[in-house]
Structure 1
Amino acid sequence: MCGIAGIFFKKAETNPTLGQALVDMLDGCQHRGLDSTGFALYENTFKGLRLRFIVDDDAGATVARVKAALAEQGAKLVNEKREGASFVVEVEYDGEIRPFAYAMEHAAKLVSIGSALDIIKDVGTAHDLDRIYGIKSIAGSHGVGHVRLATESEVKPEAAHPFWATGFSDVAIVHNGQITNYWKMRRRLEARGFEFRTDNDSELIAVYLADKLAQGETLELALEQSVDDLDGVFSFLVSTKDGIGFAKDRLAAKPMVMFENDDLVAIASEEVSLNRLFPGRPLSTTEPAPGTFRTWSR
């Protein structure tokens, strides 16, 4: 089943309630997926790149491989920390992102890379992750989240959502649905040199969109094209360093509801997630029509 949620604050690049808002929204739809939870958060708190890796039982060896790969790629390690199932580094690096990202992927399980993006995901609920990672204390401009009911892969941190656009910086996706022309589209991208780390169709959507952005297209145009290029049933949210957007297929089998005012836009699978942002207040919500898309950015 799974559930998705996203929020974009219109008036400030840093809002202290970002983490709290997404925890509340995902708690509202947690019944749609109790296996794992994840957040893609955008916070401008450092000047370089942040990379988050999943560490296994042999954490020491994983950390050593990551540090060796960073040195080999010419990235200067500025900060590091162990956190839950993750090893997080901040680095100074001014080379090409794709070869750097692929090299780091070969060293360890890379969850995200970006100058603003940080993906935090693990088994458990939104409140479980908050206790481990301190999600509620994270400030930022916008973010998306996902609760997962595992149907096609194992319940473990790296299989949780969101997914980042492998090989690109600051692009993440949360998705409810199934892309039926997955392998056809993946083979086309692989023929152009793109790499994939999972067989998850959410990763495909992220790379597909990030590739279009890298070619100079706007996020709005990329989403418009996605409605025609992607086969299947889907509702998804995409986030970049500058904003968020959504797209729905023309059958609209997967739910999505939206609330917008002068301060923010919030989108989720169910209205209960939006109500968590404004307890006790009636909300004027809308449901995006089939085959529609929209973006918000600064």
Structure 2
Amino acid sequence: LNRAEVDGVGLLKHCGRLPWVARCGSGLSRGQGRFPTNTPGWWGGAHPFCLLDWSVVHNGEISSYGINKRYLEMFGYKMELQTDTEVVAYLFDLLCRRHRLPFEVACRALAAPFWKDIDRMPEEEKAVATSLRQVYGSALINGPFSFIVATGGMMAALTDRIKLRPMVIAQKGDLVYMASEESAIREIAPVLDRVWTVRAGEPVIAELGRGIVQ
């Protein structure tokens, strides 16, 4: 079994005790206890939200959903699952799989720096950031959000550009933890080697066998 996603109603610890789930082993796993506020609560919008080769857990809301949706529809994507998280999965698929952007570059496009910050960058970095804003302006995700996205053997955490939603990273040995709150991580691993918060709009990327790579 290469990949399995479990959506259930109840506490995460109870879902994890399902017999077939307990037998699965994985080097990379995601989970979320979620109470939807602006979208219908149904299994199609449950988290982890999985489409194609992307899995997303998301805290907050995507206020740019309308323009992101119209942008994706230009490339043949259809939003049908009644959740703003859907655009996150499709945007990563578009930029990384179809446009072949490196993952970290795609993150810079989706949570692009403000123009005032771009103006203060060194010339080479400024040119790249300007190009991303110009080419992928309609892919820019706005709103208070933090999310964890995974594909293959990689998992990454990203917040909005002014960090209106929290995101914490921790390490214990060769294990990497990502969560909205440190308390959630310490519920699993009370003793940690290192704990830090994600900087606004800058991804933290971890890969199987390599740990934190950015």
Q: Matched residue of 2:92: which SS?
A: helix
1:3-22 mapped onto 2 (5 Å cutoff):
none
1:274 to 185, 194, 204: 185
Q: Does 1:256 align with 2:167?
A: yes
Q: Could you tell me which of 58, 61, 68 is aligned with 1:178?
A: 61
Structure-2 change in CA distance of 1:285 and 1:186 (3 Å): same
Structure 1: distance between partners of 2:44 and 2:16: 18
Counterparts of 2:106 and 2:19, CA distance in 1: 33
Q: In structure 2, what is the Cα distance between the partners aligned to 1:155 and 1:195?
A: 20
Give 2:35's aligned residue. Answer: 149
Q: Is the 2:39–2:82 contact (alpha carbons within 8 Å) kept by the matching residues of 1? A: no
Q: Which has the higher contact order (CA 8 A, sep 6+)?
A: 1
- Which SS does the other structure have where 2:144 is aligned? strand
Identity %: 26
Q: Is 2:100 aligned against 1:216? A: yes
RMSD between superposed Cα atoms in Å = 1.9
Kindly provide the amino acid, as one letter, of the partner of residue 162 in structure 2.
L
Distance in 1 between residues matched to 2:46 and 2:192, nearest whole Å = 33
CA deviation after TM superposition for structure 1 residue 276, in Å: 2.5
Give the structure with the larger strand fraction.
1
Distance 1:191 1:278 in 2: 44
Cross-structure match for 2:202? 292
Shift of 1:262: 4.3
Q: How does 1:119-134 map to 2 (within 5 A)?
A: 119-132=5-18, 134=20
**Rounded Cα–Cα distance in structure 2 between residues aligned with 1:264 and 1:132:** 24
Q: Which residue of 1 aligns with 2:50?
A: 164
Amino acid at match of 1:216: R
- Output the amino acid matched with 2:106: A
CA distance in 2 between partners of 1:261 and 1:127 (Å): 21
Q: Residues of 2 paired with 1:154 and 1:192: CA distance?
A: 26
Q: Deviations over 1:201-259 (max 9, x none)?
A: 11110110011111211211111211121111111110001211111112212111111
The equivalent of 2:153 in structure 1 is: 242
Look up the match of 1:188.
71
Aligned length: 180
Closer/same/farther in 2, CA of residues 187 and 133 from structure 1, 3 Å limit: farther
What is the CA distance between 1:128 and its match in structure 2? 3.0
Q: Does the C-alpha gap of structure 1 residues 157 and 132 become closer, same or farther in structure 2, counting only changes over 3 Å?
A: farther
Distance apart, 1:282 and its partner CA? 5.5
Q: Deviations over 1:242-294 (max 9, x none)?
A: 21111111221211111124412111111112212333x35531011222112
* SS of the residue 2:88 aligns to: helix
Is the alpha carbon distance of 1:176 and 1:138 closer, same or farther for their aligned partners in structure 2, counting shifts above 3 Å?
same
Query: What are the ranges of 5 or more consecutive residues in structure 1 without an aligned counterpart?
Result: 1-44, 46-115
The amino acid that maps onto 1:244 is M
Gaps of 5+ in 2: 113-139, 209-214
> Which range moves more in the overlay, 145-154 or 185-194?
145-154
